[in-house]
Amino acid sequence: MRACKRLISLICLSGLLFSTVIGQVLPLFPVKRPESADTWQRDGWAAVEKAKAEKIRTGRAKNVILFIGDGMGVTTLTAARILEGQLRGESGEENRLSFEEFPFSALSKTYSANQQTSDSAPTMSAIISGVKTDEGVLSVNQNIVHGDYRTVQGNETKTLLEMAEEAGKSTGVVSTAKVTHATPGACYAHTADRDWESDKDISDRSRAAFDAKFPDIARQLLEFKYGNGLEVALGGGRFKFLPKGAKDPEYDVAGERLDGRDLTKEWTDKYKNAAYVWNKKDFDAVDPKKTDHLLGLFEPSHMKYEFDRQGDPAGEPSLTEMTTKAIDVLSKNKNGYFLMVEGGRIDQAHHLGNAYRALTDAIELSNAVRAAARRVSLDDTLIIVTADHSHTFNMLGYPARGNNILGLVREIGSDGEVEPNYARDAFGLPYTTLNYANGRGYTGATDLFAEGPKFCCEEPKRFLKPVTGRPDLTKVRTTDPNYEQEAMIPMKNETHGGEDVAIFATGPNAYIIRGSMEENWIFYVMADAFRFRKK
């Protein structure tokens, strides 16, 4: 039997699919190097020496770049790391995302002023303004009443981007989501409802705020009151900037603004040496040396997922390309800059229960971080990478090393060899390594506990067969990019998770990122790096 398992493993390692009566067995990805006890010992001592030799940068930062992986919890980091390695043909576990090489890290506590598990509005508001606040509002304190525009004035919390503009620095926001979405919007807007992205949104959600002409988020971008306005805004969201009836340049749809304003035209009219672009060709043609204000809106709503980007009719820049272009525009300012870059669609793929797109967008965020770190001097540029919150995304079972991260679990047997058969649940059905605690992938009720729920630490009295429960995944291609992982609790969309997320940092003040941190402390690390005056 042991020899048989070794033969199966060799066949799998060769890249072939092994088919038997048990169904398809996905290949194990090979470890990229020979390993032994000496390997682990050598690596451990090397890590210690590298950490001891790490340069502590205590000087003032000229620039700060903040990367947000929206919804990029620790499980997402682990699975993305493995997937990136496996896409290169390696086992993946030993791989490291670009920012995992940063010398300093911490855990961030993501609760908001009124939620254990938060959305992006209060979490990003905490990161960018230093003040925790309530669910659904942007860059205002917790004295706000959600949805009441009258409570905004006097409760605004100044953001790092606004402070940077006041200090004469250049500023920018980049996102694969709409530039009016919660994470980028919190950088420059103050509102009682994160969904007030256009005046139509306000009309739909609060007639009182609409009648009072409370400024929507897109309008606040154009009417920004600090410095000389944002120099760069790149992402999606053309709907929010174009007037109702105005035809979209790419699709057979129209804008939604009720005030008749074309904010894309206002951008180029307002600023000298300004450009507005909506496709890849025009984006590539932008000369950063001759462009002082750049607005790029590449989709009516959110931008494409990285996996789908190549199929866009007009073409879209990648997150890496937008990041490097933004740096080139902003770095002309001798006083420095602040740039926020969001991998916004990591979160949205998780909400759809689609691990493949979430993970490949996380990998692209890693690519953008790598490109940024190579483009700047870490002696004067602080780079922080974090998430605003997590998701109910899980890794489970006991899969063998090199098991396809998107595939079905195969375990190590009692003889130390990879089992030829898939691991099975109590129904005798195989399962994937990745799944969600809730969401769209729920597959139906079962009679596993026919007599009702049990409590720790009772044993169920009997196991029964599923009624409409889990499918037999042996004939399902779980590695398909469109596959929705299974979920335990049925939900229209998967929810956020409430556990801590990771922070990674390098550059001036990065050494302060350590231990267990309140999420809003990230703001103070960045503000102190800029030497902004304490209140």
Better-predicted residue by pLDDT, 270 or 9:
270
pLDDT at 534: 67
More confident residue, 326 or 471: 326
Phi-psi region of 187 (alpha: psi -120 to 50; beta: other; left: phi over 0): alpha
Give the pLDDT confidence score for residue 453 in this predicted structure. 52
Does domain 63-394+494-530 fall under CATH 3.30.700.30? My reply is: no
At 313 the pLDDT is: 86
- DSSP lists the bridge partners of residue 140 as 156
Helix, strand or coil, per DSSP, at residue 389? coil
Cα–Cα dist 90/88, whole Å: 6
d(CA 521, CA 527) in angstroms, rounded, equals: 10
CA distance linking residue 296 with residue 84, whole number of Å:
29
pLDDT at 471: 87
> CA-CA distance, 527 to 285, in Å (whole number)?
34
Query: Can you read off the two tokens belonging to residue 263?
Result: 């904010």
Residue 113: what pLDDT? Answer: 98
How many contiguous H segments (helices) and E segments (strands) does the chain have? 15, 17
What is the pLDDT at residue 535? Answer: 59
CB 270 within 8 A of CB 224: no
pLDDT average, residue stretch 479-497 = 95
List pLDDT tens digits, range 56-98. 999 999 999 999 999 999 999 999 999 999 999 999 999 999 9
For residue 336, the surrounding DSSP H or E stretch is none
The average pLDDT across 140-167 equals: 98
According to the model, what pLDDT value does residue 378 have?
98
Do the beta carbons of residue 266 and residue 233 sit within 8 Å? no
CB-CB contact of 327 with 336 (8 Å) = no
CB atoms within 10 A of CB 286: 17
| pLDDT beyond 80 at 232 | yes
Residue 458: per-residue pLDDT:
59
* pLDDT given at position 27: 76
Hey, which residues does 174 pair with through a beta bridge? 234, 341
Report the pLDDT value the prediction gives residue 295, as an integer from 0 to 100. 98
Q: Is the pLDDT of residue 432 over 90?
A: yes
Angle (nearest 5°) at CA 65 between 384 and 292: 175
- Residues 139 and 125: beta-carbon distance below 8 Å: yes
pLDDT over 70, % of the chain: 90
Residues assigned a catalytic role = 120
Q: SS3 of 19, please?
A: strand
d(CA 300, CA 239): 5
Q: Which amino acid is it at 93?
A: E
Q: 388 phi and psi, to 5 degrees?
A: -85, -30
The structure tokens 């020496």 sit at: 49
CA distance 138 to 265: 26
360 and 181 Cβ atoms separated by less than 8 Å: no
Long-range contact pairs involving 282-286 (C-beta distance under 8 Å, separation at least 24): 283/317, 283/321, 283/322, 283/325, 284/317, 286/325
3-class SS of residue 69: strand
What pLDDT does 62 receive?
98
Letter for the amino acid at 35? E
Is the predicted pLDDT of residue 326 greater than 50, yes or no? yes
Both tokens assigned to 361: 């967008």
CA 228 to chain centre: 29
Residue 454 has pLDDT above 80, yes or no: no
Distance, CA of 392 to CA of 75 (rounded, Å) = 9
**Quick one: tokens of 221?**
């971008």
H/E run at residue 172: strand 170-178
pLDDT mean over 36-61? 96
Q: What is the mean pLDDT of residues 311-322?
A: 95
Instruction: Annotate 463-482 with b (16+ C-beta within 10 A) or e (fewer).
Output: eeebeeebeebeeeebeeee
- pLDDT for the residue 467: 59
pLDDT band at 143 (very low <50, low <70, confident <90, very high): very high
Enumerate residues 6+ apart whose C-beta is below 8 A from 399: 409, 410, 411, 423, 433
Which residue bears the tokens 């999606």? 236
| Integer Cα distance of 48 and 513 in angstroms | 19
Look up tokens 């990745």; give the residue. 434
CA distance 191 to 194: 7
The string of DSSP letters for 88-122 reads TTS-STT---GGGGSSEEEEEE---SS-SS--HHH
Q: Bridge-partner residues for 105, per DSSP?
A: 504
pLDDT above 70: residue 463? no
For 348-399, write each residue's pLDDT tens digit.
999 999 999 999 999 999 999 999 999 999 999 999 999 999 999 999 999 9
Q: Sort strands 487-490 and 434-439 into parallel, antiparallel or unpaired.
A: parallel
Residue 419 CA to residue 414 CA, distance in Å, equals 9
pLDDT of residue 533: 81
For residue 38, how far is the Cα from the chain centroid? Answer: 37
Q: Where are the domains of the chain?
A: 63-394+494-530
